[in-house]
Amino acid sequence: MEYKPIRKVVSGNYAAAYAALHARVQVVAAYPITPQTSIIEKIAEFIANGLADIQYIPVESEHSAMAACIGASATGARVFTATSAQGLALMHEMLHWASGARLPIVMVNVNRAMAPPWSVWDDQTDSLAQRDTGWMQFYAENNQEVYDGVLMAYKIAENVNLPAMIIESAFILSHTYDVVEMIPQELVDEFLPPRKPLYSLANFDEPFAVGGLATPNDYYEFRYKIAKAMEEAKKVIKEVGKEFGERFGRDYSEMIEKAYIDDADFVFMGMGSLMGTVKEAVDLLRKEGYKVGYAKVRWFRPFPKEELMEIAESVKGIAVLDRNFSFGQEGILFNEAKGSLYNTSARPIMKDYIVGLGGRDFTVKDVKAIAEDMKKIIESGKLDREIEWYHLKR
Amino acid sequence: MNTLFGKIKEEAKQISPKSVEEYPEAPISLGTTLINFTGDWRTFMPVIDESKCVKCYICWKFCPEPAIYIKPDGMVAVDYDYCKGCGICANECPTKAIAMVREEK
Ligand code: SF4
Ligand code: SF4
């Protein structure tokens, strides 16, 4: 069948819901939380209209939502859920159970600032705080990437038997409408065959125990297996991303999307929707003669260390844009990126710009101002300060 | 231990993974503590002095694991595959027949 995309004008949340529908998820367990609510409302609507044969499990909290997803996934079903901020934090304990039991659950997290003070706007600290739970993390730049990300995530997750989180920005994507090219169901089915589970609780011929005790004699080996699966995931991500490109025209074979790297003095590095703004700004800056590049980190877990090392070899500086912060240290992406380059000889000057926390606007004008600052640093070779709270009212 | 349980345990030890490759991908198991031995974090191990034992079986009743079993001859013995070295048996034994000895590993 020839690929003819179905164009729909949808919000990021609806893009997520359609992707779940097209992935033929069998079980959804979720609790509504702003700004995620419209994802699961849309899925409920699909079910009510007879469009989908999905078991919908209403629960009383996100902790239970993830618990239900884990149980369902352990039977071999394809499972979906979605959450935001405090809801994700409430899931934290269960996130470990999902990855530890090697269940390829896919979840959309709508990035939202953590309270207090109460905020429903965009901020990456909620998902980045789940860094060490053994979940893969994909940061979508736009609604199209939300849709594509969910479909690819199932294929990758079910290949390496680890759960994956697709992350989109609160309101900037979740509630903003844009054209999304959707894939006809038959072609999605070809790309994403039914799940072949590692084990299934529904297999009554071979009973076994899950979640049992591992003494110090056994636990260590299981952790190593997860570490190895994460490493393996890098290869699978690139293969699946390439296949997606060949089939549907949008290539995701790079874990870091790059532009103008080769002759750039410095690059902007960041994740998620803010990189759309940077993309536009970099095009304008190039026209004005700035030698700037663009490096969008798509996958934060597994971390694309090798790709980052390649970029570092060709540039003099990296401006990291962090819409997040780890108190007592620095921006989380900055911390990861810097750490990845410690054992190499290529160590460009790096500066951490803390931007857009709690939904503060981040515009093309801001990117230009940061470019000006970075230019000075590169020319003088002197880093004035490592961390800059860019928007602070002074 | 000349019982069916003992035989199963011996077989379990034979098939238990020796290298990381032999471990299953996910932490699932075909049995519970029948093949998962919980007695590997001891510091002190109980040692029974059979000459002092009066076969009151208080240790057998109190052991929380339970790692104490009664042999066909009526004497008590410790199954070190499950004993966690808590010392309750030694504490409860009325004749002080059980000594807690530091285990060399
Ligand atoms: S030390 Fe504790 S576990 Fe071991 S045999 Fe005595 S009571 Fe049971
Ligand atoms: S409590 Fe002491 S005396 Fe009684 S059965 Fe156990 S070892 Fe023997």
Instruction: Read off the pLDDT of residues A247-279 as tens digits, 9 standing for 90 and up.
Output: 999 999 999 999 999 999 999 999 999 999 999
Chain B touched by A209 (CB under 8 Å): yes
Tell whether the model's pLDDT for residue B35 goes beyond 80: no
Neighbours of B86 (CB within 10 A): 17
Distance B53 CA to ligand 1 centre (A): 16
Tell whether the model's pLDDT for residue B7 goes beyond 60: yes
Chain B touched by A327 (CB under 8 Å): no
Buried-exposed string A121-144: b where 16+ CB fall within 10 A, e elsewhere: bbbbbbbbbbeebbbbbbbbbbbb
Task: Report the SS3 class of residue A111.
Answer: strand
Q: Sketch out chain A's domains with CATH numbers.
A: 6-248 (3.40.50.970), 256-389 (3.40.50.920)
Model confidence at B16, in pLDDT bands (50, 70, 90)? Answer: confident
Chain B touched by A205 (CB under 8 Å): no
Q: Assign domain B5-102 to its CATH architecture.
A: 2-Layer Sandwich (3.30)
CA dist B83 and B100 (Å) reads 12
Which residue among B17, B25, B31 places its CB closest to the CB of A161? B25
Tell whether the model's pLDDT for residue B3 goes beyond 80: no
CA dist A36 and A30 (Å) reads 10
Model confidence at B31, in pLDDT bands (50, 70, 90)? Answer: low
Query: Nearest Cα to A379, choosing from A314, A290, A260, A312?
Result: A290
State the pLDDT at residue A387: 98
CB contact (8 A) between residue A161 and residue B27: no
Residues of chain A under the 50 pLDDT cut? none
State the pLDDT at residue B1: 56
The domain spans of chain B are: 5-102
Minimum-distance ligand to the CA of B88? 1
**What is the least distance, in Å, from the CA of B32 to any CA of chain A?**
7
CA dist A25 and A194 (Å) reads 10
